[in-house]
Amino acid sequence: MDLWFSEFHTPHVKLAIKVDKQLYSGKSDFQQIDVFESPEFGRFLTLDGYMMLTQKDEFIYHEMLVHVPMCVHPDVRKVLVIGAGDGGIVRELSRYKTIEHIDVVEIDEEVVRVAKEYLPFTACGFDDPRVKCHFEDGLKYVRHHEDEYDLIIVDSTDPFGPGEGLFTKEFYGNCYTALKEDGIMVNQNESPFYANDARAMQRAHKRIHSNFPICRVFQAHIPTYPSGHWLFGFASKKYHPVRDMHAADWKALGIETKYYNTNLHRGAFALPNYVQRLLEAMEELPGNDTTTTLNTSNGGNT
């Protein structure tokens, strides 16, 4: 049987993955959820037809979103994870003994249920007793918390559909408020390569930049995401992502990783020229999203 999963990365480019069988297909209140088994990538999860993770390359995404901020912040005790219904982020976080509590806010409980049944390699993260799941809108949850978290990880889908609210200026601003005075926020920041993704990446950066005094972008290579070149945002009230990293302390923890290491951490913030230009354009221009008033009022907090 010639069965393939395919996803358009642009109207003129598509990625196709040979599928052995479909393990799950269902529609939740929020989205279409599918799980497939494939010879090359193992099991993979798609939401509304968009690739979320594969068994083969999910480690890259999850390690980069967790270990980068964990190597910078010296004392993370309380973490908020938004999105991440597959459990991969929590799995990486649970390797740190010093973390006391992890709140996971996922809008779609069905994703967690499906992950627990079909994706045990990531959903194992939910077994950690420090994890508490909240099934509600991330935008709403974060609005009700102030000065509470050391680290917020935004593991969002895309800036359309149910994840839309997690790319807005009000959301990033509410995250700022929910963080302690030395808190860090990291987020999935789309890709710089194809035009549509690049626009989303720029908009997200502009909005985060208008809310946080320190705002940097880092990159990783994720084969099953459009273009394979993927970006993450690092926003912080106090710590610089490279100058303030604690490489020796992190190594001493003895956490074994497949992708992340402290040299790669430094290098991940070194971006190609065209990406730098796309980002700088957002930092310089006070367009629709940014105003000098906003920057000033944030400046007062640094």
Q: Which residues would be at the binding site for another protein (CB under 8 A)?
A: 137, 139-140, 143, 162, 164-165, 168-171, 173-174, 177, 288-289, 291, 293-294, 297
Q: Nearer Cβ to another protein, position 77 or 143?
A: 143
Q: With 0-12 CB in 10 A as exposed, 13-18 as middle and 19+ as buried, what is 51?
A: buried
Closest CA to 244 of 67, 65, 74: 74
- Residue 44: CB atoms within 10 Å: 26
Closest CA to 34 of 104, 97, 94, 119: 119
Give the Cα separation of 45 and 37 in Å (integer). 9
Q: With 0-12 CB in 10 A as exposed, 13-18 as middle and 19+ as buried, what is 32?
A: middle
- Mark whether 20 is an active-site residue: no
Q: From the CB of 87, what's the least distance to another protein, in Å?
A: 23
Active-site residue among 86, 155, 197, 289? 155
Q: From the CB of 129, what's the least distance to another protein, in Å?
A: 30
Q: Nearer Cβ to another protein, position 51 or 139?
A: 139
Give the Cα separation of 81 and 184 in Å (integer). 12
Give the Cα separation of 146 and 23 in Å (integer). 41
CB 156 within 8 A of CB 184: no
Q: From the CB of 291, what's the least distance to another protein, in Å?
A: 7
- Tell me, rounded to whole angstroms, the distance of Cα 54 from its chain centroid: 15
Give the Cα separation of 220 and 229 in Å (integer). 6
Q: Nearer Cβ to another protein, position 103 or 289?
A: 289
Q: From the CB of 137, what's the least distance to another protein, in Å?
A: 5
Q: Nearer Cβ to another protein, position 267 or 299?
A: 299
- Tell me, rounded to whole angstroms, the distance of Cα 143 from its chain centroid: 19
Q: From the CB of 196, what's the least distance to another protein, in Å?
A: 17
Q: Which residues are catalytic?
A: 155
